[in-house]
Amino acid sequence: MREFYPLVWDDRLGAWLVSRYGDVAAALGDPGLVRPRRGLCCWPGEVWCAGPRREVDDEALGVLREVSERTAFVLARRLAQREVADLAEEFCHWLPVGTAATALGLSYAELARGSRAGGRRAGPAASLAVLCADRSALIGKALASLLANLLDRPDEWAAVRDAPGALTAAWRESLRRNPPVHVVLRRAHGDIRIADGTVPAGAAVALLVGAAGRDPDRFAVPDRFDPRRTAPAQLDFGLPDCPAARVAEVQAECAARALCEAMPELRWAEGFRPTETGLLTRAPRTLLVRPA
């Protein structure tokens, strides 16, 4: 599709498909392509940075980071003595949820019921904690993919363990290679030019973020996980100033630091290989490891 059909109509999906990196990146910022009024729950990429951009308060982010660090260390230390643990279910899933609940002063049950407005804490990190709660499923998927990429390559895991600054590049490369959201839906407000073609007004447009992140015209050897790439590619989390992107990256930093400290010899369980599942959202459902 990228090579021969960069803009093509799909009858089953009922949308125009866009798959090249340059076209997807341009379309994500095109004001003529708007979020659809219906079906938002089916297109989770729409919630990452919806609405106007706003500055992220450094104090609020610092408070959220402290809560994230404590939550990550508690989770990691609980798993450290296990013979085998599932990082996807027992760590990646609970880190954003636990961080949000603690920051808001809510129990997990209250958070799950959507009782965020009744939180007992309204400090500077409250709005970011709500953001963390709303995106917890996608943050968990992104964390699972990051850990799968690092543990599959012991040299990269060692680099993150020995040089904490290496985590940022690994995180962004993992988002390129294995984004939690693979498809983002838009609707054309008027006739829109995309990929040397025209999408008629009112038509649905499916931006294939996963395909764009592996476009060989943009990335050399695109299927390879290579944190040393210089070309940025954060299509699904938005630009670096997006609050959701900042919150998710903080969670990744805290996760890696806690696991490296609590489980310095972390490795895959014998015979286990991670497998991604999902179409619109995608990540390994299981990450079986030997903590010690």
| Closest CA relative to residue 139, chosen from 176, 178, 109, 95 | 95
- What is residue 46's predicted lDDT score, i.e. its pLDDT? 44
**Long-range contacts, stretch 148-156, CB < 8 angstroms, 24+ apart:** 148/178, 148/274, 148/284, 148/287, 149/173, 149/174, 149/177, 149/178, 149/225, 150/174, 150/256, 151/266, 151/267, 151/268, 151/274, 151/287, 151/289, 152/225, 152/274, 153/225, 154/267, 156/225, 156/227
Confidence of residue 146 (pLDDT cuts 50, 70, 90): very high
Model confidence pLDDT, tens digit, residues 197-214: 999 999 999 999 999 999
- What is residue 242's predicted lDDT score, i.e. its pLDDT? 73
- What is residue 109's predicted lDDT score, i.e. its pLDDT? 75
Residue 189 token pair: 């407000």
Residue 258 token pair: 């806690």
- What is residue 234's predicted lDDT score, i.e. its pLDDT? 59
- What is residue 44's predicted lDDT score, i.e. its pLDDT? 41
Model confidence pLDDT, tens digit, residues 153-181: 999 999 998 887 899 999 999 999 999 98
Percent of all residues in the chain with a pLDDT value above 70, rounded to a whole number: 85
Give yes or no for a contact between 192 and 199, defined as CB atoms under 8 angstroms apart.
yes
User: Where is pLDDT greater, at 40 or 147?
Assistant: 147
Strands (E), the chain: 7-10, 15-18, 33-34, 85-86, 183-188, 192-194, 197-199, 204-208, 267-268, 276-277, 283-284, 288-290
Confidence of residue 40 (pLDDT cuts 50, 70, 90): very low
Give yes or no for a contact between 61 and 68, defined as CB atoms under 8 angstroms apart.
no
User: Where is pLDDT greater, at 292 or 284?
Assistant: 284
- What is residue 42's predicted lDDT score, i.e. its pLDDT? 37
Model confidence pLDDT, tens digit, residues 9-18: 999 989 999 9
Model confidence pLDDT, tens digit, residues 86-121: 999 999 999 999 999 998 888 777 776 665 555 555
Q: Average pLDDT for residues 249-259, to the nearest whole number? A: 95
Q: What is the mean pLDDT of the chain?
A: 86
